[in-house]
Amino acid sequence: MPIDGFFEWWGVQGTGKNKQPYAVAMKTNRPFCIAAIWEEWKDRQTDAVSRTFAVVTCEANELMAPIHPRMPVIIAPDDYPRWLAFQEEDPHDLLKSFPSEKIKIWPIGRKVGNTWNNASDILDPIEEEEPPLI
């Protein structure tokens, strides 16, 4: 699945609603792909076709681990054909954390948690309330 970034929330004071969102992207600011699987199915009663997908996750790398124990599997461009099954080789070894030094992470405002908020400033960095151990 092609994306230009993703979000993750860190519990500022443990668990609960007091969480700090973070944006994650490539240091190059270029789009990238995460591993996902999809399925198409047909409702037997209505004949409506639905397409669903799930993001494949792995253990978090050193940068992400203080915020969340897992992260999306980021597929390196050279490995796109293997993930998309254009080659015969098993892509199981691609299910690993992406190198920390190639990504960046920064705190953003909580308005990212509401789908009605679709402004360009949603990714603007903010001051952290209490930074995690990054």
Overall residue count recorded for the chain in this entry: 134
CB 95 within 8 A of CB 15: no
Distance of CA 26 to the CA centre of its chain: 11
pTM: 0.82
Residue-wise pLDDT tens digits, 69-116: 999 999 999 999 888 876 677 888 999 999 999 999 999 998 888 888
Q: Is the pLDDT of residue 134 over 50?
A: no
Per-residue pLDDT tens over the stretch 60-82: 999 999 999 999 999 999 999 88
CATH value of 2-123 in 3.30.470.30, 3.40.50.300, 3.90.1680.10, 3.40.50.1110: 3.90.1680.10
Closest CA to 22 of 67, 62, 54, 57: 67
State how far the Cα of 26 lies from the Cα of 32, in Å rounded to an integer.
8
Report the C-alpha gap between 114 and 127 in whole angstroms. 20
- Going from N- to C-terminal start, the domains of the chain cover 2-123
